[in-house]
Amino acid sequence: MALAFKSTLRGYSAYLEKPERQILRSLFSDVLTLLGGVSPADEPLEEDKPKLFDRFRPRQEAAQLPEAPATENDSPTDAAFWDLVGSLTSDDVQVDLNDPAVQRLLPDARSGHDAEEGSAQFRDLAQEDIRQDKIADLQRAYALVQTPSLMLSQKEAEAFGRALNQVRLVLSSRLDIEHEDDAERIHEIDSVDQATDVERYMALLYNFVSWLQETLMQALIGDL
């Protein structure tokens, strides 16, 4: 079970079990794909060293999410959960600016009657830099999730928080979260036993990422 981020003398610490870290890496990798980025060179999770570990492969070879470690105690619900996580990936590494999720990641700079012209100017001048900054945050976050006990510097924590927010934006788009009522509906899904369809599984992912980001932001704000 994950333990919330907290501020310590050494940095910002949290605890994530292996399946939770696998899920986060999968989500970071998926958002990287949406932005046209590539996951970092595969580095095995700490507890899997030095044995061969090929569940994470570079995006240019295969857009594949890690499989959950099989155990005798796996339930049909657990298996369905991992199947759902696997279904969220895509082999397409092109940036689709018509994708609502990408539009949330790379929003138009202006609104109103000059939105079309302003957006074109914005993309020409700044969107590539913004996209690369987001890719860098996601790649750093992907690389940081290697050991159960995370210990992040302030710079790493800020990048990790931004990466979590990008994942939340994508999931919120997929879940059609537009208003407070929509968010409340999603927050009611807090147990894998409630996950009876794709939307509810994605709601679980959204709530987990939201909780982790919130604890990290609280730790960062507490040090201001």
The average pLDDT across 51-76 equals 39
Per the CB < 8 A criterion, the answer to whether 204 and 212 are in contact is: no
Higher pLDDT, 96 or 221: 221
| pLDDT the model gives residue 155 | 95
What are the residue boundaries of the structural domains of the chain, listed by start?
3-222
Per-residue pLDDT at 92 exceeds 50: no
| pLDDT the model gives residue 28 | 94
d(CA 213, CA 147) in angstroms, rounded, equals 18
| pLDDT the model gives residue 149 | 94
| pLDDT the model gives residue 52 | 35
pTM score, whole prediction? 0.73
The average pLDDT across 128-149 equals 92
pLDDT tens figures, 149-186: 999 999 999 999 999 999 999 999 998 888 888 788 78
Instruction: With CA atoms as reference, report the closest residue to 191 among 180, 182, 200, 199.
Output: 200
pLDDT tens figures, 16-33: 999 999 999 999 999 999
